Amino acid sequence: MRNALTWIVAAALLFPVAAAAEGPSDALAQKVVTLSVAPGIDGRFARMIGIAVERQPADRKAKAKADFDAAAAAIRADTLKIFTTYYASSFTPAELRDLVAFYEGPLGKKLVAVEENKPAAVNSEIQKQIVKLVSALQLPADGGR
């Protein structure tokens, strides 16, 4: 009985502190990140893992996929935490609630779906622009003169 009472008192003392460490902005920011950023991260990770798995010998693909997925899970969690912390410090709770409402609404869902389901031709054109920028950034500052 005494152990149970000790546990209850300890829990009562610790749980409010734990709850205070993560405020309403953190929870709202996490929801915004889950609705808006996570789908893009998940898509990129899946594509990158798919490419890496395809490079493996046939008899190692299943194990490689499992290993890559396991490694990616921690990286995904860390990446989303970075976004969550950043959003929590960049937006007010009211702004975060507005963002949640937007991304939970039909237009927000459509925006995420459109972004994540771009046709290959659009991705190819975007990639060409990135290659152009990389090439331009490799030129000397004086334009080669």
User: Going residue by residue through the chain (145 aa), what tens digit of pLDDT does each one get?
Assistant: 444 334 333 344 434 333 334 577 899 999 999 999 999 999 999 999 999 999 999 999 999 999 999 999 999 999 999 999 999 999 999 999 999 999 999 999 999 999 989 898 998 899 899 999 999 898 776 665 6
42: buried, middle or exposed (CB in 10 Å: 19+, 13-18, 0-12)?
A: middle
Phi-psi region at 129: left, alpha or beta (left = phi > 0; alpha = psi -120 to 50): alpha
Q: Cα dihedral angle (91, 93, 98, 99), rounded to 10 degrees?
A: 50
| Residues ≥6 apart with Cβ < 8 Å to 27 | none
What pLDDT does 73 receive? 95
- The predicted pLDDT at position 88 comes to 96
The tokens describing 8, both together, are 């209850």
Quote the pTM value. Answer: 0.71
- For residues 75-112, one letter each, b for 16 or more C-beta atoms within 10 angstroms of the residue's C-beta and e for the rest, the string is ebeebbeebbeebbeebeeeebeebbebbeeeebeeeb
Asked whether 60 and 136 are in contact (CB, 8 A), the reply is: no
Residue in 61, 37, 38, 42 with CA at minimum distance from that of residue 51: 61
CA 142/CA 63 separation, integer angstroms: 50
- The pLDDT assigned to 145 comes to 61
pLDDT tens figures, 3-30:
433 433 334 443 433 333 457 789 999 9
According to DSSP, residue 104 is labeled H
